[in-house]
């Protein structure tokens, strides 16, 4: 923890025209969540008192996403995109009364590490700029340092050859005390070709005011910004490589690591086994010792120790699997709780249901949970046996130790220990099959 209280300002107002998309750039997904979600997740590691996201282009969409990603975050609106310093100024009214360290992050820069943010938050200087040693400095702004810290930021177009040779460059991320931002930001002008107010002017103005300005450095990979679809794809590859390596380091078995896809918040316990071509969407927890067989898709679900899932299974949001549950091939579970030892072998849909312990669900079972207007629940007791091809028309309850006959349509509650049959009586016509086929063949030949 830092000694000073912390606030975050996340800049997420840009259109991202190079993405060639109607969707705001910060809402394009990386690791299963919008780009801005990565910045918010890293920043939350500092336990900030306040989080402000500055929205502009597609503000309504951004606000909706933030409400899901970080419901406590506040939204500041930058109606005109007049530069980064202008964006930060829109956030300041929401920090009224806050006295502490403010970190300014970017919604399209997803990889800055929690440790790096910790250094920015705890540094004793008045203004701290995040820099990195670039393999190819290109057109980045150069950070010129001296005995008294950061002397100036020099844009490439303004740099002489000696300055362009500097490999320490500006990431754009910085931290400053709230009081410093309130004092210095109004001094930033827009006398430049774009007519915009740039946050990169803040360190120079702070130094001219007698404040201490310094640089904290990180690995170049942390500063990767996303501006194009190609960069987004490269970032996804980098994210997945890190997630796979971390899972292996944590004691998870990945049968074919290159084919397993993780989300930002995927949580898998040690000694879990993950087969090939498994995709984890957001909100998945797999406990120690569980096994996810190949070609499964999981999202918003919890898999307890000893459970097995798949192959070719889908767990949707709200799926809760107890210990030693088995969910087999071509089974879909949504918003349902399966207690310990439940077996759902194949070709089944369970939605809006609760299944008691040690119950067996036969192949082809469907909980008919939607009537075209509302969703309804199915309750199945412990140690029940649901015959193959049973349609459970919700709302309905099947009691403990009860059974349903194969092919039944169950529309009424079944008491404990009862057998329910809900199918039409079979009628057999001796010899009719042969006569019918002969008649059909004659008709076809005529």
Residues 208 and 307 in one domain: no
Q: What is the pLDDT of residue 446?
A: 65
DSSP codes, 340-387: TT-EEEEEEEEESEEE-TT-EE-TT-EEE-B-SS-B--EEE-TT-EE-
Q: What is the pLDDT of residue 1?
A: 42
Residues 196 and 341 in one domain: no
| Rounded Cα distance, 391 and 303, in Å | 26
For 41, the domain range is: 6-223
Report yes or no: 362 and 386 within 8 Å, Cβ to Cβ.
yes
DSSP letter, residue 268: E
Residues 135 and 31 in one domain: yes
Does the residue 1 lie in any domain? no
Q: What is the pTM of this model?
A: 0.90
Closest among 130, 176, 135, 134 to 153, alpha carbons compared:
130
Q: How many beta carbons lie within 10 A of that of residue 163, not counting itself?
A: 14
Q: What is the pLDDT of residues 61-94, one digit of tens each?
A: 999 999 999 999 999 999 999 999 999 999 999 9
Residues 36 and 93 in one domain: yes
346 carries an active-site annotation: yes
| Rounded Cα distance, 55 and 109, in Å | 15
Q: What is the pLDDT of residue 2?
A: 46
| Rounded Cα distance, 404 and 208, in Å | 82
Radius of gyration (C-alpha) of the chain in whole angstroms: 30
Does the residue 173 lie in any domain? yes
| Residue ranges in the chain modelled with pLDDT below 50 | 1-2
Show the tokens assigned to 70: 């970080």
| Rounded Cα distance, 377 and 369, in Å | 6
Q: What is the pLDDT of residue 158?
A: 85
C-alpha distances (whole Å) from 43 to each of 16, 46, 62, 85, 132 are 22, 6, 18, 20, 19
Backbone φ and ψ of 333, nearest 5°: -120, 130
Residues 363 and 395 in one domain: yes
Q: For the chain, how many structural domains are there in total?
A: 2
Instruction: Catalytic residue, from 346, 354, 376, 383: name it.
Output: 346
Indicate if the alpha-carbon torsion angle 57, 239, 102, 163 is positive or negative: negative
Residues 372 and 288 in one domain: yes
Does the residue 445 lie in any domain? no
| Rounded Cα distance, 389 and 142, in Å | 69
């Amino acid at each position: 923890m830092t000694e000073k209280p912390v606030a975050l300002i996340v800049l997420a107002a840009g259109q991202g025209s190079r993405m060639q998309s109607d969707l705001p750039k910060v809402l394009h997904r990386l690791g299963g969540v919008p780009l801005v979600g990565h910045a918010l997740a890293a920043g939350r590691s500092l336990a900030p008192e306040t989080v402000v996201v500055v929205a502009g282009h597609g503000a309504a969409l951004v606000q909706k996403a933030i409400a899901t990603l970080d419901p406590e975050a506040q939204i500041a609106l930058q109606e005109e995109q007049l530069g980064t310093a202008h964006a930060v100024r829109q956030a300041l009214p929401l920090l009224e009364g806050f006295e502490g360290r403010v970190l300014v992050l970017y919604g399209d820069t997803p990889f800055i590490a929690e440790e790096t943010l910790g250094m920015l938050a705890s540094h004793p200087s008045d203004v701290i700029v995040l820099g990195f040693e670039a393999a190819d400095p290109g057109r980045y702004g150069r950070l010129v340092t001296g005995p008294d810290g950061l002397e100036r930021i020099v844009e490439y177009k303004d740099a002489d050859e000696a300055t362009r040779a500097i490999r320490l460059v500006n990431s754009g991320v910085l931290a400053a005390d709230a009081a410093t931002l309130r004092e210095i930001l109004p001094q930033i002008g827009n006398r430049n070709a774009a007519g915009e107010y740039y946050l990169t002017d803040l360190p120079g103005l702070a130094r001219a005011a007698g404040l201490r300005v310094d640089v904290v450095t990180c690995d170049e990979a942390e500063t990767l910004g996303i501006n194009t679809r190609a960069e987004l794809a490269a970032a996804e590859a980098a994210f997945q490589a890190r997630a796979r390596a971390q899972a292996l380091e944590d004691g998870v078995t990945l049968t074919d690591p290159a084919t397993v896809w993780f989300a930002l918040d995927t949580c898998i316990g040690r000694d879990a086994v993950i087969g090939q071509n498994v995709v984890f969407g957001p909100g998945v927890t797999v406990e120690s010792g569980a096994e996810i067989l190949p070609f499964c898709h999981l999202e918003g679900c919890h898999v307890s120790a000893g459970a097995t899932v798949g192959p070719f299974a889908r767990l949707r949001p709200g799926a809760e699997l107890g210990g030693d549950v088995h969910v087999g091939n071509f089974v879909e579970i949504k918003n349902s709780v399966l207690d310990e030892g439940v077996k759902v072998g194949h070709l089944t849909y369970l939605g809006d249901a609760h299944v008691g312990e040690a119950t067996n669900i036969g192949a082809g079972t469907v909980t008919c949970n939607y009537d075209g207007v509302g969703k309804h629940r199915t309750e199945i007791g412990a140690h029940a046996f649901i015959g193959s091809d049973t349609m459970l028309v919700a709302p309905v309850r099947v009691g403990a130790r009860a059974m349903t006959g194969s092919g039944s349509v169950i529309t009424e509650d079944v008491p404990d220990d009862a057998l329910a049959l809900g199918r039409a009586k079979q009628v057999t016509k001796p010899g009719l099959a042969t006569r019918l086929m002969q008649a059909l063949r004659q008709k076809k030949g005529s």
